[in-house]
Amino acid sequence: MSVLFLIPGCIALFLVLNGRVKSAFLSVYLPSLLLLSHDYSLRLPHLPPLSAAEYALIPIGLVALTRHIRSRSFRLMDALVFLFWMSFLISEILREPVRNDGILASVDAFVSLLLAYSVGRQLIEPNLRFKTARRIVIFILLLCPIGVYE
């Protein structure tokens, strides 16, 4: 049953390999982020437990991160986010009683922090602001009847 959480990641990977990164972001990552629960996760070997949205974020984020590195248009905020992640990585690895827990926390922070930031910087910021905001509003409006019922 928990293997179903890999489906958004597989769809996102398929769309990214076909060169449709923007549609993977808008049609796979955003729905899985806003409509699926983050309480349930799947733990693959050598990875921390990740939700369906994080599995969808991995291929999109890796493409965005490589584009960001190749463009060489770094800003102060990029350095601050990277330094924050590095300080988190060092503190978790050095101060965690079980070193593997620190490594898994660092991998989780890489996915949820660096990859999410690079997606926002490379995809949303240049030309997807309006489409992203519109999709977020639509998904939240879809969730309103369920929230009212509960």
Per-residue pLDDT tens for 48-83? 888 888 888 989 999 988 888 888 878 888 889 889
Residue 55: closest CA among 77, 40, 67: 40
Q: Number of C-alpha atoms within 13 angstroms, CB side, residue 65?
A: 16
Q: What is the pLDDT of residues 11-23, one digit of tens each?
A: 888 998 898 888 8
